[in-house]
Amino acid sequence: MDTPPRPDATVGAAARYRTLLEINNAVISNLTQDALFHAIAQALRRVVAFDRTAVFLHDPERDVLRLFVLESSLSTSYFTVGLEMPSGESHVGRVFKTQRSLLRHDLAKERQYPMEDRALEDGVRSYVIVPLVVRSTAIGTLAVASVKPNQYSEADAEFLRDAAGQIALALENMKAYQEIAALKARLEHENVYLQEEIHREHNFVEMVGSSLALLAALRKVDQVAPADTTVLVSGETGTGKELVARAIHDRSTRRGRPLVKVNCSAIAAGLVESELFGHVKGAFTGAIDRRVGRFELADGGTLFLDEVGELPLETQVKLLRVLQEREFEPVGSSRSLRVDVRVIAATNRDLAEAVRAGRFRADLFYRLNVFPIEVPPLRERRTDIPQLATFFVSRFARKFGKRVEAVSKETLDRLMAYPWPGNIRELQNVIERAVVLSSGPSLELGSELLPAGAPLDADGARARPESASPAPPAPASLGLDAALEAVERSHILAALEAAKCTPDKDPSPPANGT
């Protein structure tokens, strides 16, 4: 404090100094709203008597002054925390705009604003309102009121202005503390989530294959990635829908922010809303602390809703609101949070059929199905099986410290003939088990790992490899170099077929090299 209280103040200078010191100590030792203002009110009461005291803070977005904290012994029907007053036509707004104190000696004789009529109805007869100013900028007001007329003097108003300077700094510090705490909590949640992602074993780290079906899906990924559009990825279980979502995120402008995954089928029905939108402390039994939901965690990034078809109908309504309005309310809170999130949803169900059956909302389906991508099953991209098998063999051989360098012809034939109802995930698991059991440099699949031939289809015929791009012939021992050559050849054939110029014979160079 630079300016001491005036000698003609209604209370002694020593009492004023002591009160301001107590307020300063309260500012230092209390960082939470309730504890801070209670300590300040107790200190003020020793110097200035009041029946009601309140702090209004300015909301710049709505240009209103909102009642922030309150201590009162008066009964009222309107003067409660959250009350909003216009920054223009109100006694509180006048003090905020002019940054000058307002003193009323007797409301029964001097009133100008409608809210003063309501204050008189509550029994208030006199009050003082002073601005809360930080670095020449008003952030709100401090008010004290009494049921007695002529309770306050100019000296009281001057003392409150001195106290308001410290209170304003305290409120700014508290706001900064809360923002830092919120950012720290968010970073902690992001760190935990990202650590889980790092340690979680994904099916594989990249899209492997060169079949026409896969290339068509990847072309769609390249088209939609930079557009920030909602995407619905559909496909059978184990086809790599999450990898498609990651590819879209990694090629988008949001790649600097996290891709947050939610497995909608793995969350208990009663906890889905808390998982997606978070909850406040005390929202329900067991909510001992605030929880940051996945939407808030993904703010600025991408949210991947896996198996979105499993969401309960009541949660689908709230999800639709978030997609349309970009805001939501955490469970137990009346305050809306705005987020900037791109949503990628995935499902192994026929959502159109689910809509017809009433299990999925039609409006949500249309909102998610802005850009659909169908991930082909493995039986429709059989030419990718040699590449995938080589990839998995190399990966698991390194993981388990084994020297498995080739895939036998019989094993490759069996892999090509099998229909793979579990798709790439099933292929990965079969290869992993085979590498674990392997005792030599060539991978062999026993009958206990995979059936000898493909099961019969509905017409009683064996499932055949896709005819559009025939599989390259496999040598008796498919080493890594041979596998690479086969992959290159398969890719060239697929490109030629796409260009409608399939060669009549194997495109090998003439013997003379010309």
Domain at 135, CATH number: 3.30.450.40
* Domain of 290, in residue numbers: 201-376
Q: Are residues 213 and 150 in the same domain?
A: no
Q: Are residues 352 and 388 in the same domain?
A: no
State which of 348, 376, 404 marks the end of a domain.
Answer: 376
Q: Are residues 370 and 387 in the same domain?
A: no
Bridge-partner residues for 260, per DSSP? 303
Q: Are residues 225 and 372 in the same domain?
A: yes
- Distance, in Å, from the CA atom of 39 to the CA atom of 31, rounded to the nearest integer, reads 11
Assigned domain for 205 exists: yes
CATH number (domain holding residue 457): 1.10.8.60
DSSP-derived letter for residue 141 is E
Residue 147: its pLDDT value, please?
95
Spell out the alpha helix ranges (H) of 127-250: 154-199, 212-224, 241-250
Spell out the alpha helix ranges (H) of 211-361: 212-224, 241-250, 272-277, 294-297, 313-325, 351-356
Q: Are residues 387 and 342 in the same domain?
A: no
User: Would you say the C-alpha torsion 389, 390, 393, 395 has a positive or negative sign?
Assistant: negative
Residue 478: its pLDDT value, please?
44
Q: Are residues 145 and 237 in the same domain?
A: no
Q: Are residues 20 and 157 in the same domain?
A: yes
Assigned domain for 185 exists: no
- Distance, in Å, from the CA atom of 153 to the CA atom of 49, rounded to the nearest integer, reads 12
- Distance, in Å, from the CA atom of 428 to the CA atom of 420, rounded to the nearest integer, reads 11
Assigned domain for 275 exists: yes
Q: Are residues 41 and 97 in the same domain?
A: yes
Tokens of 223: 């088209």
User: Cα 83 from chain centroid?
Assistant: 31
Which residues of the chain register pLDDT less than 70? 1-17, 20-34, 177-178, 181-206, 286-287, 451-488, 490-491, 494-495, 497-514
Assigned domain for 509 exists: no
State which of 145, 177, 209 marks the end of a domain.
Answer: 177
Residue 189: its pLDDT value, please?
62
State which of 376, 392, 425 marks the end of a domain.
Answer: 376
User: Would you say the C-alpha torsion 170, 176, 179, 180 has a positive or negative sign?
Assistant: negative
Assigned domain for 512 exists: no
User: Cα 392 from chain centroid?
Assistant: 33
Tokens of 403: 């020297």
Q: Are residues 262 and 119 in the same domain?
A: no
The per-residue DSSP string of 450-513 comes to: S-SSPPB-TTS-B----SSSPPPPPPSEE-HHHHHHHHHHHHHHHHHHHTT---SS--PPPTT-
Tokens of 321: 């609101």
- Distance, in Å, from the CA atom of 453 to the CA atom of 417, rounded to the nearest integer, reads 6
Assigned domain for 511 exists: no
Question: pTM to 2 decimals?
Answer: 0.55
Assigned domain for 7 exists: no
Tokens of 232: 């619905």
Nearest to 354 by CA among 312, 318, 306: 312
Total number of domains in the chain: 3
Q: What one-letter code names the amino acid at 506?
A: D
Q: Are residues 464 and 493 in the same domain?
A: yes
Q: Are residues 479 and 493 in the same domain?
A: yes
- Torsion angles phi and psi, residue 423, rounded to 5: 60, -145
Instruction: Say what the alpha-carbon torsion angle 439, 384, 382, 479 is, to the nearest 10 degrees.
Output: -40
Q: Are strands 337-338 and 327-328 parallel, antiparallel or unpaired?
A: antiparallel
Q: Are residues 211 and 280 in the same domain?
A: yes
Assigned domain for 189 exists: no
- Distance, in Å, from the CA atom of 213 to the CA atom of 244, rounded to the nearest integer, reads 14
Residues shown for the chain: 514
User: Would you say the C-alpha torsion 364, 369, 373, 375 has a positive or negative sign?
Assistant: positive
